[in-house]
Structure 1
């Protein structure tokens, strides 16, 4: 695994695997859930990729052999209902809520890739849905940009949008390569990159507008 791949997986293990598990625990024991969330968050901040290493350690202990990229995509689809508040915007205006809906919508479609990639007809339809969802998310970002009143905030969001577009183009290239050489894991990883970029858009808007 390259350093770039490890960084992407590290950034997603907390929101996709650990976070939703803590949301479920919070229903039973709010105090314990908050304690664990603080501990994981502080540990991850001090030692990036710790959560990823922790999950890998659990898998090794349980002698589980799974494709981490594929598994994260599958779990993402199942965990969106328990998504972290970090990826929700508290502003009530339609533009902000629409951005959240478009972000969730894109992630939901991307999470279907492992189930559909083996069925060419279904996968081609999913690719069309992903392209449409990417455009709708970018349109929503443009709507929200009008609410940012300070120059540095506008620049940050514009930079984040450019990064999202870059990874969208990379995803398209990866799909072409997949239809040529059949490397499904590269598609899974590229889809995770788009999920990461979508999350970063939300957190950037939160920083600039809340």
Structure 2
């Protein structure tokens, strides 16, 4: 039973936590790093959430108390393009490159939440930035839809967009609850959902266009 059933953190463990470690290993042993990367990617595709289970197993064995939602959200801001390759569009047209920029920008802003949530003034400014980044991302998705061939492809992207909007609204509700009740972890999870939904948009556009 992986946590992917109720939060999206499991989908981000491989690209945001493990791949950057393997990139560092690459400096010492290229072959070992690339072999491990390929094996983990293949295993994760066959068994979604496996990377999460491995990390949680290590944390449990070491009796380490780590908030993985907070940690993965923070690490999202440090992940390089090569670690997040499946969420990047390769098409050279401006609309696709713009969508790359806007998705990366939103995820980068969301990754600042753990460091800024305790400073109310800074956090309120960040919330404004997130709202603006969400709007810009949706505008960029609309621009890309025109390039997608066939009705079913367009519908698939529109469906992803609706899901993204749904989780954007949930994020907004979670923030209101946070200012009443102070549950920071709920904000971290909601932000991870938004990152996951952003990634789902990118994967869908990629599948329908490339």
- Taking the aligned partners of 2:27 and 2:94, their CA distance within structure 1 comes to 29
Residue 81 of structure 1 deviates from its aligned partner by 4.9
What secondary structure is seen at the aligned counterpart in 2 of 1:37? helix
Describe the SS at the equivalent of 2:96: helix
- Seen in structure 2, the aligned counterparts of structure 1 residues 3 and 72 have a Cα distance that, compared at 3 Å, is closer
> Aligned partners of 2:123 and 2:30: how far apart in 1?
41
Matched, 1:172 2:195: no
Q: TM-score, normalised by structure 1?
A: 0.93
1:105-129 CA-partner distances (Å, limit 9, x unpaired): 0000000000110011000000000
Measure the CA separation in 1 of the matches of 2:37 and 2:4.
25
Structure 1 partner of 2:63: 63
Matched with 1:100 is 100
Give RMSD over aligned pairs: 1.7
In 2 relative to 1, CA 57–45 (structure 1 residues): closer, same or farther, beyond 3 Å?
A: same
Is 1:129 the counterpart of 2:123? The answer is no
- What's the counterpart of residue 200 of structure 1? 200
Match of 2:114 in 1: 114
Contact 2:114 2:188 in 1 (8 A): yes
Deviates more, 1:118-127 or 1:8-17: 8-17
Measured after TM superposition, the shift of residue 46 of structure 1 is 2.7
Structure 2 length normalisation: TM-score? Answer: 0.93
Structure 1 residues 141, 54: CA separation in 2 closer, same or farther (over 3 Å shift)? same
Trace 1:37-56 onto structure 2 (pairs within 5 A): 37-56=37-56
- When you count helix as a share of all residues, which structure comes out higher? 1
Mapped contact 1:20–1:84 kept (Cα < 8 A): no
Cα offset for 1:44? 1.8
Aligned to 2:5: 4
Cα distance in 2, alignment partners of residues 103 and 55 from structure 1: 26
**Unmatched 5+ stretches in structure 2:** none
* C-alpha deviation, 1:27, in angstroms: 4.3
Give the match for residue 157 of structure 2.
Answer: 157
How many residues were matched structurally?
209
Please name the residue that 1:24 is paired with: 24
SS in 2 for 1:90: coil
CA shift for structure 1 position 88 = 1.3
